[in-house]
Amino acid sequence: MRIVLDMDTGVDDAVAMVLAMNSPEFEVEAITTVAGNAPVVQCTRNSLLITELLRPGDPPPVAHGACEPLVQPLIIAPEVHGHDGLGGLLDSLPTPHHAADTRPAVELIAAIPHDGPDDVSLVASGPLTNLAIALRTDPTAMAAYRRIVIMGGAFDVPGNTGPVAEFNFYVDPDAASEVLNSGLDITIIPLDVTMSTALTRDALESLVRSGGRTDTQALAKPGRNLAAILYRALDYYMSFQEDESGLNGGFMHDALAVSAALFPSIITTRPASVEVVTSGPARGRSLVRPAVNGRTVNIAVGLDESMFHEILEERVLQPVWG
């Protein structure tokens, strides 16, 4: 399966990227970046760095995307992901050797060749700004994607950006509204399922120790390899979650979206039409509405938690720290 990843590359996006690139069923065709967890220039650098560390000789192309939402001023999440998206590691991270693709993200999304109707999928784990612009500029190219899996929304649970909104939809509600009402084959992975399970700090450190590292704190020092970088980024991310909610771990929102693209049976879904509130106190809220012109999306409502944790262990934890 060929796949394009559209990301605001923060900590859980980085985990999702590792998962995708360590999955033999996937060929990651391209990664496009969008402003969200961090400014887009940082998201691009993070993507270039991680892809190089995973595939030094032949990383997939990384294209720089939208630097701000369609209408709203940009809001980022340094308290969750650090000012640079990877836990504030910028000063100690190596400089990527590869440059970003010369094409803007929207052009690269449209330029991916499709050999057949079920050939390429797209996973969007950040605000949907790039996808909305691509729909405006080349709807035929967007319609050629097998399906689009989106991490976003909160339906029957509280939001994580204010009481009712999920972060991606809050950052660019106008883009979310356009994309979800486009009629494309879309599956939404909302907070309803992503916050039903988490990667615990105990599980992470247990695996690190089982891989022969007796002093897990050594990984918390500046390092230039993927294991050290991800460990430090996850430490920052999990510390925020613990301060915020008491959770001794971190929600792997974006890794679940990639997993659902890889193994659709990991989730159960319901079809619905979705409205996204674009302004006011409920900005970013996602609401189920009666279908308009028969246009629906599939909303994930259930999750095989044990299967998801097996995927995380086999494709992220073991390859990086095992």
Active site residues: 253
Is 20 within 8 Å of 29 (Cβ atoms)? no
Looking up tokens 């939809």 gives 169
Distances (CA, A) of 39 to 51, 64, 69, 179, 225: 19, 11, 11, 22, 23
Is 251 within 8 Å of 137 (Cβ atoms)? no
Distances (CA, A) of 157 to 39, 60, 166, 258, 286: 28, 36, 10, 22, 11
Q: Which contiguous run of DSSP H or E holds residue 201?
A: helix 201-210
**Inter-axis angle of helices 201-210 and 226-245, to 10 degrees?**
160
User: Can you tell me the distance from the alpha carbon of 322 to that of 314, in angstroms, rounded to the nearest whole number?
Assistant: 10
